[in-house]
Structure 1
């Protein structure tokens, strides 16, 4: 069965209730008697959301995480200053759920596989040696990358 555009876009309109335990809300405080169910409502991030967030955050990963959480929160709606005032554990918990529902969750072994890829290693070396940004390295052709790596090898 062939999917329609509506089928592909339907997931972006869903919302998810995420339960927060007392330990996540107030870590380190013993809440053994607190059986209250706390929850928030999240929506998946779209490509447009991620583009806007990455432009706004530029080079701050802290701001990036806070903007992702703020954009995904349906209930309660929060301002960015309020999200930035959350304790780190709560922000990380919510962000992990945002990533999961948005389909951008990665497994730990995916990171190690990506870090071992030859192009990843080459990009890291070029960034270290020449001070280039990821965008500058991304603009290079494979031939240019190999040429620069060969030049570095001869100079060492």
Structure 2
């Protein structure tokens, strides 16, 4: 049986993600830097998604930008800077954030579904595993879904 520390360990991970040259600079006539095209991302956790959903409620087009901002560890950028990136780059970064966070839904689906189901999931996990809300909030979405599935399979 896994310990709570083992289950929560994934929330502290960061990933170096290489950005393909054609994504960073879609115009082949423009020069690219002579250094590795790498950023450092971290998985989003439940708390991140709840905050993003609330913040983007009034402006749906902010969801992707806020998801990338929360996950981008290095270089650290603000919402305005991410909003100034070309759409293809933001889309690529968002795909990588979704991948490392265990999210298989689109940003629009996540925006519509995140609030209530995640709150219920956090409550179930806290109740079943005896975790504090803080511990549950540190889980990535992929970890939450895995634990819920394990609980479901154990109940059948």
> Which bin holds the TM-score, normalised by the shorter protein?
0.5 to 0.7
Offset of residue 26 of structure 1: 1.0
TM-score w.r.t. the length of structure 1 is 0.63
Structure 1: tracts of 5 or more residues without a match: 112-133, 139-156
Q: TM-score of the superposition, structure 2-length normalised?
A: 0.63
RMSD: 2.6
1:61 corresponding residue in structure 2: 60
How many residue pairs end up in the alignment?
Answer: 110
> Deviation above 3 Å: which 4+ runs of structure 1?
30-36
Partner of 2:138: none
**Structure 2, gaps ≥5 residues long:** 117-156
In structure 2, the residue matched to 1:21 is: 20
Equivalent residues in 2 for 1:126-145, closer than 5 Å: none
Cross-structure match for 1:120 = none
Question: Which structure would you say has the larger RCO, counting Cα contacts within 8 Å and 6 or more residues apart?
Answer: 2
**Residues 33, 50 of structure 1: alpha-carbon distance in 2 compared, 3 angstrom cutoff:** closer
Q: Distance in 1 between matches of 2:34 and 2:62?
A: 33
Counterpart residue number, 1:77: 76
Between structure 1 and structure 2, the one with the greater Rg is 1
